[in-house]
A and B are shown apart, each in its own frame.
Chain A
């Protein structure tokens, strides 16, 4: 590890927060081992249940505060799916809601100090993005058959350009899961690492550490925004990709 081996004065370990640890003991991490990943994903599930199930158990016509929040989430994602992916996309509403709730809650829970951010791991975001990619591809072929490939053949372009555009479209199609996952993981990881770096400065600067602490407060606010926006972006991009599969025409 570079920062330690070469003895810089500051002992900053911005990546420590991302280490996957077993919850019990020090054993090797097998695929079934309960780790801090398990813990924080479980907390995300509990938060989701509290937010969307417990708060709505009274099914009030005039909603309580908790139920209003649940309805807000529902309405927000429902409208997004309907607007972006079209009416056909509403069949995938529970799926997209699952993605959104998981990403949003994981991002938010990750901002609790000392917590573990599951969505900052490429493994997690890559699986999420690959799920979206596979869903879109399979649904596209299932619904449109071979006609799904016509989205790569831009019929509005001049004939000479079409093969070139087809190659570009094809590449961009396969880059989608990569950018989709790296965007989310990278944003989260960068923000958290920056906070840790500033925290390291604060430990080493004595009285002047009010500056990095103020900076941390500001960055924390920004990170709240980033957490929400990245969940939104992840979801809306899922809807955009889904439109290719279920929508009427490529544009």
Chain B
């Protein structure tokens, strides 16, 4: 079948792909196109895109590094804060312990003083009581002697003061 070129608007004859008269034309323009594309790509487009991508990569890497640094700083700050907190706690505990010890000391002293005073007062009271008891016993003996003498007299006998006293004393002891 026919394979020659068709000009203008006629219908294709056979396969236009196998119309070899147009091959030099196509090959020529293809080579021109490829050379143009190759030069535009290798001189302009690809270095530019490659540079942008490399830029972005380094920017991202830098940002990541910066973020990492900030994170490390934050961690350090937190650590310092925690340390300060711990120190303050220890300090406070120390102060509390000191204050407690002082109060305890004061308290102990006051307690001891109070104990001593109480002991002194108790001793005095005991002495007073003993005195009163002694006084009472003497009074009782006196009263008993008098009563005995009176009784003896009432019974009609002469009371010998010496004898009565001795008898009363013996009785009181008994």
Residues in chain A within 8 A of chain B (CB atoms): 1-2, 4, 13, 15-16, 18-22, 26-33, 35, 37-38, 41-42, 44-45, 48-49, 52-53, 56, 59-61, 63, 67, 70-71, 74-75, 93-95, 97-98, 101-102, 118, 120-124, 127-128, 131, 185, 189
Alpha-carbon distance between A123 and B13 when the two chains are bound, in angstroms: 17
| Cross-chain contact B7 with A94 (CB below 8 angstroms) | no
Alpha-carbon distance between A30 and B25 when the two chains are bound, in angstroms: 6
* Complex A-B: 14 CB contacts under 8 Å: A4-B11, A15-B15, A18-B12, A19-B16, A21-B8, A26-B7, A35-B26, A37-B25, A59-B55, A60-B52, A74-B53, A94-B42, A121-B16, A124-B30
| Cross-chain contact A18 with B17 (CB below 8 angstroms) | yes
- Determine how close the nearest CB of chain A comes to the CB of B154; give it in whole angstroms: 138
| Cross-chain contact A97 with B46 (CB below 8 angstroms) | yes
- Rank and list the top 3 A-B pairs by shortest CB-CB distance, nearest first: A31-B24, A94-B42, A52-B45
**Given A26-B7, A29-B22: A45 and B49 interface contact (C-beta under 8 Å):** no
**Given A20-B5, A122-B17: A48 and B11 interface contact (C-beta under 8 Å):** no
Considering only residues 38-85 of chain B, those with a C-beta below 8 Å from chain A are 38, 40-42, 44-46, 48-53, 55-56, 59
| Cross-chain contact B26 with A123 (CB below 8 angstroms) | yes
- Determine how close the nearest CB of chain B comes to the CB of A162; give it in whole angstroms: 38
Which residues from A are CB-within-8-Å of B42?
A: 94
| Cross-chain contact B16 with A18 (CB below 8 angstroms) | yes
Q: How large is the interface on B (under 10, 10 to 19, 20 to 34, 35 or more residues)?
A: 35 or more
Alpha-carbon distance between A143 and B160 when the two chains are bound, in angstroms: 163
Alpha-carbon distance between A93 and B13 when the two chains are bound, in angstroms: 40
| Cross-chain contact A1 with B38 (CB below 8 angstroms) | no
Q: Among the listed A16, A28, A127, which residue makes an inter-chain contact with B31, where contact means beta carbons less than 8 Å apart?
A: A127
- Determine how close the nearest CB of chain B comes to the CB of A143; give it in whole angstroms: 20
Which residues from A are CB-within-8-Å of B18?
A: 122
- Determine how close the nearest CB of chain B comes to the CB of A30; give it in whole angstroms: 7
- Determine how close the nearest CB of chain A comes to the CB of B91; give it in whole angstroms: 51
**Given A45-B33, A61-B55: A1 and B26 interface contact (C-beta under 8 Å):** no
Which residues from B are CB-within-8-Å of A131?
A: 34
Which residues from A are CB-within-8-Å of B16?
A: 15, 18-20, 121
Which residues from A are CB-within-8-Å of B17?
A: 18, 120-123, 185, 189
- Determine how close the nearest CB of chain A comes to the CB of B56; give it in whole angstroms: 5
| Cross-chain contact B12 with A13 (CB below 8 angstroms) | yes
| Cross-chain contact A48 with B22 (CB below 8 angstroms) | no
Alpha-carbon distance between A42 and B46 when the two chains are bound, in angstroms: 20
| Cross-chain contact B7 with A41 (CB below 8 angstroms) | no
Alpha-carbon distance between A30 and B32 when the two chains are bound, in angstroms: 15
Which residues from B are CB-within-8-Å of A53?
A: 40, 44-45, 48
Which residues from B are CB-within-8-Å of A15?
A: 12, 14-16
Which of chain B's residues has its CB closest to A93's CB? B46
Alpha-carbon distance between A121 and B5 when the two chains are bound, in angstroms: 14
Alpha-carbon distance between A231 and B119 when the two chains are bound, in angstroms: 115
Q: Is B128 positioned at the interface, with any CB of A under 8 Å from its CB?
A: no
Interface-centre pick from B6, B36, B37, B44 (highest chain A CB count, 10 A): B37
Alpha-carbon distance between A121 and B7 when the two chains are bound, in angstroms: 17
Which of chain A's residues has its CB closest to B46's CB? A94
**Given A1-B14, A15-B15, A67-B52: A118 and B30 interface contact (C-beta under 8 Å):** yes
**Given A13-B12, A71-B49, A121-B17: A20 and B26 interface contact (C-beta under 8 Å):** yes
Which residues from B are CB-within-8-Å of A29?
A: 5, 21-22, 25
16 extra interface residue pairs, beta carbon distance < 8 Å, beyond A1-B13, A71-B52, A121-B17: A13-B12, A16-B12, A20-B16, A30-B24, A30-B25, A45-B37, A48-B40, A52-B40, A97-B46, A98-B37, A101-B37, A102-B34, A118-B30, A120-B17, A124-B26, A127-B31
